[in-house]
Structure 1
Amino acid sequence: MSALVEALARCPLVAILRGIHPEEAEGVGAALAGGGFSVIEVPLNSPNPMASIATLARRYGDRALIGAGTVTTEQEVAAVAAAGGRLIVTPHADPAIVRAAKAQGLIAVPGFFTPGEAFALLAAGADGLKLFPAEAASPAVLRALLAVLPKGTPVLPVGGMDAMTIPAWRAAGAAGFGIGSALYKPGDTPQVVAAKAATLLDAL
Structure 2
Amino acid sequence: MSLAPWLDACPIVAILRGVQPEEVEAIASALIHEGLNIIEVPLNSPRPLESIRRLHSAFAERALVGAGTVTTEDEVAAIVRAGAKLMVTPHCDPDLVRAARARGLIACPGFMTPAEAFALLAAGADALKLFPAEAVSPAVVKALLAVLPRGTAILPVGGMSAETIPAWKAAGAAGFGVGSSLYAPGDSPAAVGAKARALRSALGLG
Same fold judged by TM-score > 0.5? Answer: yes
- Alpha-carbon distance between aligned partners in 2 of 1:196 and 1:62, rounded to the nearest angstrom: 24
Deviation at 1:57, TM superposition (A): 1.1
Equivalent pair of 2:2/2:126 in contact (CA under 8 Å): no
Indicate whether 1:18 and 2:14 are aligned.
Answer: no
> Structure 2 length normalisation: TM-score?
0.97
If the length of structure 1 is used for normalisation, what is the TM-score?
A: 0.98
Secondary structure in 1 aligned to 2:195?
A: helix
Describe how 1:1-204 pairs up with structure 2 within 5 A: 3-204=2-203
Give unmatched runs, 5+ long, in structure 2. none
- 1:186 Cα deviation from its structure 2 partner: 0.4
Moved over 3 A (4+): none
CA shift for structure 1 position 161:
0.3
For residue 39 of structure 1, report the CA deviation from its aligned partner.
Answer: 0.7
How far is the alpha carbon of 1:54 from its aligned partner? 0.7
Letter paired with 1:53: I
- Give secondary structure in 2 for the equivalent of 1:148: coil
How many aligned positions are there? Answer: 203
Identity of aligned residues (%): 66
**CA contact 1:33–1:60 (8 Å) conserved in 2:** no
| Aligned mates of 1:190, 1:40 — CA distance in 2 | 14
**SS class of match (1:96):** helix
1: distance between equivalents of 2:52 and 2:187? Answer: 18
Alpha-carbon distance in 1 for matches of 2:161, 2:81:
32
